Copies of this chain bind each other. A is one copy, B any other.
Amino acid sequence: MSTLIKGGHIVTAVDDYLGDILIEGETISAIGASLDAGADRVIDAAGKYVIPGAIDPHTHMEMPFGGTVTCDDFTSGTTSAAFGGVTSLVDFCLQTPGQSIPDALATWHEKIERCPPVIDVGFHMAITDLHDGGRLEDVAQVPEQGVTSYKLFMAYKGAIMVDDETLFRTMQVAARTGALVMVHAENGDVIDVLVKQALAEGRTEPRWHAATRPPHTEAEATDRAIRLAHLAGCPLYVVHVSCQEAVEPVAAARARGWRTWAETCTQYLFINEQHLEEPDFQGAKYVFTPPPRPAHNHELLWRALQTGVLSAVSSDHCPFRISDQKTLGRDDFSKIPNGAPGIENRLHMLHHFGVRESRITMSQLVDLCCTQPARLFGLFPRKGTIAVGSDADIVIWNGEKPLTLSAASHHSNIDYNLFEGTKVVGAPEVVLLRGQVIVEGDELVAAPGAGRFVARARFGEQLQPAHEERLART
């Protein structure tokens, strides 16, 4: 099977040119000014951008949290993703405290077997319990399974939060195994005190979610994680940086040449703490963590993306229905399941408000959503770029297509949309995964199972085409 994408405006993290792309099997076999290869299928991309399939390195499918479970499974969640131009995601396999690491990993593999994805899927290992260090060797084995990043939570005290000993010991393992350490950086102790005090004073509405997680709880934990990773000698990736206070220690570390990277998420560029005050408990839609911040942070985060202080934008897709899940916290903001949907609209929002409004270039969008996530998470160069030999994960993006973002039309199971009613211009027209068209216009043309598990390379190593096969065999 071969496909020829004709005449598109190909944009990578650095390049920008007109050309044809020939796909043979699952990979790109040639790029040319004018390829006439008698392909099985020809897609006309004239007047469209042709970009790498986006990678979402931060999602939570079918994840138990606070007595409920996120409402997208891997089939529904990846379907939503595909409509947003996403062709790979990396989801957090979450160790339940007490559970063994191999069990946790098995649980996640079962999820994608039960609800097969339509895009490719990798896993991070979220470690919550080292069992007094007894599980360190299990942790060390994880990268052998193609799971080459460890996630730790510095918040959610009493649930999945780890102490500095667990954090540091895991970082030391990472330094040895070549894994990347990811942290949710908030000071859980301080937040726990503030939450209890707020509740004791009868402050139960959603807006207290933000008030009890002030920016310096995030900045503190960010600085702490950075220094611990530096001491341990491992690379670090700080997830969902939400405010200038937390950007600053990241910037300082990077200026010193430390191996620190960080992402923000779409919502931190658009949603602010005022949204939590929407009446009738609608503010609960915006209860995600870290919380929405004062609006002046929005432009400062764009600045950090422009100057390279932040390396990526993820979605932190973590959907809980407003109708019957968020309501767990109707009388107690601390019981509102934390999280919001977003996997489908990341490129829509960044293209419209970023590229069209001249905050970033199209190449920067590709870099932030495709190339950098691929590089940092061991998917490059198989994914994250348009180059000969790379997987033919490709989005044909119509830069002029108008779209209104809405829960009524999105493809996730979630019953609300963070950007409800927002009118944007620009959307995917065709999405290919390893050479196969999975989305065409408003149609999903792939079946569940089109996507598969991707064993990722270790930090700093490359994922060559042959690599997956080798790992698959082991």
Residues of chain A whose beta carbon lies under 8 Å from any beta carbon of chain B: 10, 12-19, 22, 24, 27-35, 163-165, 167-169, 172, 187, 189-190, 192-193, 214, 216-217, 219-220, 223-224, 227-228, 230-231, 251, 254-255, 257, 303, 306-309, 367, 371, 381, 385, 387-390, 462
Contact = CB atoms under 8 A, between A and B. Distances in A.
Contacts of A224: 187, 220, 223-224
A172 B192 CA distance: 14
A102 to B, nearest CB: 24
B34 A187 contact: no
A14 B14 contact: yes
Contact of A220 (B163, B223, B387): B223
Contact of A16 (B10, B24, B381): B381
Given A214-B231, A220-B227, 14 more contacts: A10-B388, A14-B371, A16-B381, A17-B387, A17-B390, A19-B389, A29-B32, A33-B389, A165-B190, A168-B190, A168-B193, A220-B224, A255-B307, A257-B306
B33 A31 contact: no
Nearest to A15: B387
23 contacts: A12-B15, A14-B371, A15-B381, A17-B387, A17-B388, A29-B32, A29-B33, A30-B30, A30-B32, A30-B33, A32-B388, A33-B389, A165-B189, A169-B193, A187-B224, A187-B228, A217-B227, A220-B223, A220-B227, A223-B224, A255-B255, A257-B303, A308-B308
A414 to B, nearest CB: 33
Contacts of A306: 257
Q: A14, A16, A19, A371: which has the most chain B beta carbons within 10 Å?
A: A14
A387 B303 CA distance: 29
A14 B462 CA distance: 13
Contacts of A257: 303, 306-307
A33 B388 contact: yes
B31 A30 contact: yes
Nearest to A248: B252
Looking at A219, A223, A308, which has the most chain B CB atoms within 10 Å of its CB? A223
A20 to B, nearest CB: 8
Contacts of A163: 163, 189
A17 B217 contact: no
